[in-house]
Structure 1
């Protein structure tokens, strides 16, 4: 499908790497290369753009400033954030279902980004993406998240943290257990834990985080291990590592 994109990076090698990597991508057209947020604004005003590859760390003006402006549009262009590795930044991108590339550029990661971008545009998800982007830039200065944006097959669904009863680990995914269903989100439990308010959520096992107000009863089982019963009826294993803080919470 046709995709018009901008590359926004103050460093010429960064722009060149992306330009060359995308040069043979069928249907993808480079609208402009920009060395600043100001140049990107001019390019956006000059014509329709589907996607920005946006460097965050730019000296004159952070890419987040431009992203905040773009997020106010009803159907903003998609943004792929380009950044040097920062674990907290990457965690925030993932919990908001936003795409990112780490410097130096990885071909496999770029191919995955291309696939996700085309799926989002094919499903006409700009409005839902805009909501996820707005929430990201509003919380980019730090703090705990109050919603999780879950992506599946080119779509984004917003899940309020207040609706999550407990969270289980499933490999590189987190199972968000709600009152009537379970939602699978591509983020590890360790990464998600760092974005949740510890006053509201408690880790009880390497594979489980529970909402504190869901804690109902703790008991030992036959083999001497511990089991937690939640108010919603779910039963969760508790590991020795977390038993003392759980007892304190009770």
Structure 2
């Protein structure tokens, strides 16, 4: 069964470039090309769509407006943002997307996005993806989410934030350490830290964040090194720049 996709971009060259690039991927079927959100809504009302390649900056309404609307659906199309912004600016809306592509398009990055979308569709993950979108779209009621949609390889699951004991950076992923397992989340540690309540979590290393109620003791090593012992049994390295904040947390 083909993967049906929609291109939404106000610039015709952008639509053409993406259409031609996707033509090299067998099994992908173009439903329509739209020059804005209005045309996209009309196409979505008439056709079943699996994936939307959505431009961010468009006249009138940005792609984020449409993304938030789609988040209300039980099984929304997977969203791949297409943007001219630098990667540092993408963090502001990364949580709403399965992936994002920077203009001008890079064939290797497009292939990664295509495979990621295909993997999620094979595993019937659209409902889980929809739940993750809704969590972020509704986050305005509380500054810190109770659950996060964890994106790993071809899969999204809901992880309760209160169950996270500690976390550490692992390349382009973050390892979330839960009571009985470890989950890989495709996000940067800095981005994840921005979503967490600082009253509950504390950064102790450039690559590690711990739950405050898991802090047990600070152990000094040679040459000024430190390690944090957690109540769950975990051992986390501590950077010198975080030692003072950690000592204050121990005395609280």
Higher relative contact order (CA 8 A, sep 6+): 1
Structure 1 Cα separation of the partners of residues 170 and 197 of structure 2: 21
Aligned to 2:244: 244
Matches within 5 A, 1:63-82: 63-82=63-82
Aligned to 2:24: 24
Moved more, 82-91 or 198-207: 82-91
Structure 1 Cα separation of the partners of residues 24 and 156 of structure 2: 28
**Residues 81 and 97, structure 2, Cα contact 8 Å, conserved in 1:** no
- What is the SS of the residue equivalent to 2:133? helix
**Residues 67 and 137, structure 1, Cα contact 8 Å, conserved in 2:** no
Aligned length: 249
Return the TM-score normalized by structure 1.
0.89
Tell me by how many angstroms 1:143 deviates: 4.6
Q: Provide structure 2 residue ranges, at least 5 long, that are not aligned to the other structure.
A: none
Aligned to 2:88: 87
Matches within 5 A, 1:55-204: 55-83=55-83, 84-85=85-86, 87=88, 89-90=90-91, 93=94, 98-139=98-139, 143-204=143-204
Return the TM-score normalized by structure 2.
0.88
Moved more, 1-10 or 212-221: 212-221
- What is the SS of the residue equivalent to 1:150? strand
Tell me by how many angstroms 1:72 deviates: 1.7
Tell me by how many angstroms 1:92 deviates: 5.0
Structure 1 Cα separation of the partners of residues 177 and 24 of structure 2: 42
Structure 1 Cα separation of the partners of residues 64 and 138 of structure 2: 10
Runs of 4+ residues deviating >6 angstroms: none
Aligned to 2:9: 9
Cα RMSD (Å) of the superposition?
A: 2.4
Pair 1:49 & 2:49 matched: yes
Structure 2 Cα separation of the partners of residues 86 and 61 of structure 1: 21
Tell me by how many angstroms 1:96 deviates: 6.4
Residues 4-44 of structure 1 deviation map (CA, whole Å, 9 limit, x = unaligned):
11101112222121111112321211111111111001111
Structure 2 Cα separation of the partners of residues 190 and 119 of structure 1: 27
Structure 2 Cα separation of the partners of residues 55 and 141 of structure 1: 27
Residues 184-243 of structure 1 deviation map (CA, whole Å, 9 limit, x = unaligned):
223332333333333322111223111122222223235542222222222222121111
- What is the SS of the residue equivalent to 1:59? coil
Q: Provide structure 1 residue ranges, at least 5 long, that are not aligned to the other structure.
A: none
Structure 2 Cα separation of the partners of residues 209 and 47 of structure 1: 44
